[in-house]
């Protein structure tokens, strides 16, 4: 068999984090009952008209700038015409002829090598509604709560060659967009969706093969599986002397195979034309400058600064800066408690462990930096010992409690008073003659058991250093 190269381009849809839909004043919030966030505009009622949400343009410009795109000074919306029940007007308002951003790139690092992935364009458009199947009726039900939620579509050039590159590219986009606060970019929840355009060609050849477009990829794992499967499917067709058909396919991750979405009734002819309901958009230099000025410090820059300013290891800085949210918590905590390394440690170890246990992401952290800073200060001051600190942190993570108040209310402060501890230590010595004998007989380890017994008697609140000192003294 010949050696084949996989050529991949991505169309990434990102739901923008606006309060309202792109063309009407309906809420974009999740979780409402079906069709409770709808109005004449987003249900395609006759006579209704779209009015553009300015915030959508702001976000699109910000993402474009961060992805090194040219911002088109004038752009407009076009209608993409196709019939489907999730599309209330039976056309989607999108941008084809004059998209807002073009000719950008982002850099990815794979296997220690840096590679630039070119971005063909970024355009603004509206999301579709949701269809669910109703078994009892053998019909489908339509919910337009998501219809009209603003999206940007980021279209790359076919510059990727492997699933690893694709995932690195998506992670890079996700980090940038989250840093901008333009979207939460969750693949599972659909706020970030990637359609994979893939073709294969003989290694060393220039001409692109016929590509297919793969939809319904809801995780990085699904993307990797779909890429490997589609690559093989196309190679098999070519090896058998066939020709790949340009089409859209739907990935079924449980069956681990894809299905053609083509049918006679779905001629792919969208009849795009400029939407007469929406005047053009002119983006002034000032507007661009304003957005540029409000850009956050992005990950790479932030990472370098953390290493030099706080002296934390590069790997730690890398993990903390993966999420702007976590990085913000880190810096604020460090500022409040003056202990950047401790702050980093709580985030790197305990926070990430709990997030993993709960299958959550750093974006989901809800505790205030103030409370982590207080916890660090309580530990440093010796007010609580490290095992109590871990217990308190669980509460900080879960309920954002105030550690000072919590420690006081639950009597968790460490007992540092030698005279108070002396009594407890003496009782442990009296109650455990065997261990005492062992220790005195030279078994140094026996002291550990006695420390433990004392801690137990003190409900974990004793200062373990003082307890050890007292035991040694009394024995």
Partner 1 sequence: MLLTNKTALELGKLIRAGEVSCVEAVSEFLDVIKEKEPEINAFITVCEEQELKKKALEVQKGIKTGELTSPLAGVPVAIKDNICTKDVRTTCASKILADFVPAYTATAVRRLEEAGAIVIGKTNMDEFAMGSTTETSFFGAVKNPHDITRVPGGSSGGSAAAVAACEVPAALGSDTGGSIRQPAAYCGVTGMKPTYGTVSRYGLIAYGSSLDQIGPIARDVADCAAILETISGKDKKDSTSLNRTDSDFTSALKTDVSDLKIGIPSEYFEEGIEADIKGNVLAAAESFRAMGARTEFFELGLTKYAVPAYYIIASAEASSNLSRFDGVKYGYRTKDYKDLHQMYKKTRSEGFGAEVKRRIMLGTFVLSSGYYDAYYMKALRTKALIKQSFDKAFEKYDIILGPAAPGPAPKLGSSLSDPLKMYLADIYTVSANLAGLPAVSLPCGKDSEGLPVGMMLTGNRFNDKAVIRAAYAYEQARD
Partner 2 sequence: MATKIDDDMIEYVSILAKLELEGEARAQARSDMEKMIEFADMLNEIDTEDTDPAVQVIDMENVFRDDTVTNGDNREDMLANAPAKKNGQYMVPRTF
- Residue that is written with structure tokens 């998501």 in the block: 146
With CB under 8 A as the contact rule, the residue among 30, 70, 84, 382 that binds partner 2 is 84
CA gap 374, 366 in Å, rounded: 16
Which of 92, 234 has the CB closer to partner 1? 92
Element (H, E) at 404: helix 403-409
Q: Residue 196: left if φ>0, alpha if ψ -120 to 50, beta else—which one? A: beta
Write out the two tokens for 403.
């550690």
HSE value, Cβ hemisphere, 13 Å, CA-based, for 136: 1
If DSSP codes are grouped into helix, strand and coil, which group holds residue 246?
coil
Least Cβ distance, residue 379 to partner 2 (angstroms): 42
267 binds partner 2, rule: CB under 8 A:
yes
Query: With CB under 8 A, what is the number of residues at the site for partner 2?
Result: 54
- Picked from partner 2, partner 1, none, the partner binding residue 277 (CB below 5 to 8 A depending on kind) is partner 1
Phi, psi of 331 (to 5 degrees): -65, -40
Provide the mask over 114-153, with x wherever binding to partner 2 is found by CB under 8 A and - wherever it is not.
-----------------xxxx--xxxxxxxx---------
With CB under 8 A as the contact rule, the residue among 64, 88, 340, 369 that binds partner 1 is 88
The CB density around residue 90, as the number of other CB atoms within 10 Å, is: 12
Task: Identify residues 63-82 at the interface with partner 2 (CB under 8 A).
Answer: 74, 76, 81
**Contact window for partner 1 (CB under 8 A) among 263-271, 314-322, 395-403, 443-451:** 263-271
With CB under 8 A as the contact rule, the residue among 19, 73, 221, 271 that binds partner 1 is 271
Which of 148, 340 has the CB closer to partner 1? 148
- Picked from partner 1, partner 2, none, the partner binding residue 57 (CB below 5 to 8 A depending on kind) is partner 2
Least Cβ distance, residue 78 to partner 2 (angstroms): 10
DSSP 298: P
Write out the two tokens for 36.
């409770």
CA gap 447, 469 in Å, rounded: 10
Least Cβ distance, residue 88 to partner 1 (angstroms): 6
15 binds partner 2, rule: CB under 8 A:
no
- Residue that is written with structure tokens 């230099």 in the block: 285
Provide the mask over 337-376, with x wherever binding to partner 2 is found by CB under 8 A and - wherever it is not.
----------------------------------------
Which of 247, 417 has the CB closer to partner 1? 247
20 binds partner 2, rule: CB under 8 A:
yes
Strand partners, 197: 9, 213
Strand partners, 12: 154, 194
Least Cβ distance, residue 48 to partner 1 (angstroms): 7
With CB under 8 A as the contact rule, the residue among 277, 290, 364, 409 that binds partner 1 is 277
CA gap 280, 77 in Å, rounded: 8
CA gap 50, 359 in Å, rounded: 39
Which of 88, 104 has the CB closer to partner 2? 88
Least Cβ distance, residue 416 to partner 2 (angstroms): 54
With CB under 8 A as the contact rule, the residue among 111, 134, 265, 286 that binds partner 1 is 265
406 contact partners, CB below 8 Å, separation of at least 6: 392, 395, 412
Write out the two tokens for 343.
């702050």
DSSP 456: H
Task: Identify residues 18-57 at the interface with partner 1 (CB under 8 A).
Answer: 40, 43-52
Q: How far is CA 129 from the centre of its chain?
A: 23
Least Cβ distance, residue 245 to partner 1 (angstroms): 18
CA gap 5, 202 in Å, rounded: 6
Contact 18, 28 (CB under 8 A): yes
- Picked from partner 2, partner 1, none, the partner binding residue 430 (CB below 5 to 8 A depending on kind) is none
Strand partners, 8: 160, 198
With CB under 8 A as the contact rule, the residue among 271, 353, 360, 427 that binds partner 2 is 271
Residue 129 CB burial class (10 angstroms; 0-12, 13-18, ≥19): buried
Can you give the binding site for partner 1, defined by CB under 8 A?
40, 43-52, 79, 81, 83, 85, 88-91, 142, 265, 269, 271-273, 276-279
Can you give the binding site for partner 2, defined by CB under 8 A?
18-20, 24-27, 32-40, 43, 45, 51-55, 57, 74, 76, 81, 83-85, 131-134, 137-144, 264-265, 267, 269, 271, 274, 276, 278-282
């Amino acid at each position: 068999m010949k050696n084949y190269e996989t050529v991949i381009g991505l169309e990434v849809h990102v739901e923008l984090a606006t309060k309202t839909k792109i063309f009407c004043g309906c809420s974009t919030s999740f979780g409402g009952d079906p069709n409770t966030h709808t109005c004449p505009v987003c249900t395609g009622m006759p006579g209704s008209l779209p009015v553009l949400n300015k915030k959508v343009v702001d976000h699109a410009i910000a993402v474009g700038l961060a992805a090194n795109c040219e911002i088109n000074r004038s752009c407009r919306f076009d209608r993409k015409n196709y019939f489907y029940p999730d599309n209330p007007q039976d056309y989607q308002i999108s941008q084809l002829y004059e998209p807002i951003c073009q000719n950008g790139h982002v850099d990815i690092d794979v296997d220690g090598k840096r590679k630039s992935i070119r971005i063909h364009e970024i355009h603004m458009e509206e999301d579709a509604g949701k269809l669910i199947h109703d078994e009892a009726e053998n019909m489908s039900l339509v919910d337009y709560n998501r219809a009209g939620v603003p999206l940007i579509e980021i279209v790359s050039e076919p510059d990727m060659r492997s699933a690893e590159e694709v995932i690195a590219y998506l992670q890079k986009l996700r980090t940038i967009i989250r840093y901008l606060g333009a979207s939460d970019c969750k693949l599972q929840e659909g706020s970030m969706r990637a359609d994979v355009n893939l073709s294969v060609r003989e290694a060393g050849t220039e001409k692109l093969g016929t590509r297919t477009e793969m939809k319904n990829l809801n995780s990085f794992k699904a993307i990797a599986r779909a890429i490997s499967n589609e690559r093989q499917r196309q190679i098999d067709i070519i090896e058998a002397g066939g020709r790949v058909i340009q089409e859209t396919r739907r990935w079924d991750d449980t069956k681990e195979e894809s299905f053609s979405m083509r049918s006679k009734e779905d001629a792919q002819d969208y009849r795009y034309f400029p939407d007469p309901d929406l005047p053009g958009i002119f983006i002034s230099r000032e507007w661009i400058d304003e957005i540029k000025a409000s850009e956050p410090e992005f990950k790479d820059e932030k990472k370098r600064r953390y290493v030099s300013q706080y002296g934390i290891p590069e790997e730690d800085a890398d993990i903390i800066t993966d999420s702007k949210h976590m990085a913000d918590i880190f810096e604020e905590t460090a500022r409040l408690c003056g202990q950047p390394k401790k702050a980093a440690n709580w985030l790197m170890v305990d926070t990430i462990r709990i997030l993993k246990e709960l299958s959550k992401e750093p974006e989901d952290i809800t505790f205030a930096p103030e409370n982590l800073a207080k916890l660090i200060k309580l530990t440093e001051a010796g007010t609580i010992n490290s095992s109590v600190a871990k217990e308190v942190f669980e509460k900080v993570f879960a309920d954002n409690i105030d550690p000072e108040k919590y420690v006081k209310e639950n009597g968790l402060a460490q007992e540092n008073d030698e005279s108070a501890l002396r009594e407890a230590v003496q009782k442990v010595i009296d109650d455990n003659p065997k261990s005492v004998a062992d220790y005195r007989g030279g078994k140094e380890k026996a002291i550990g058991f006695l420390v433990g017994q004392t801690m137990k008697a003190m409900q974990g609140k004793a200062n373990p250093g003082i307890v050890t000192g007292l035991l040694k003294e009394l024995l």
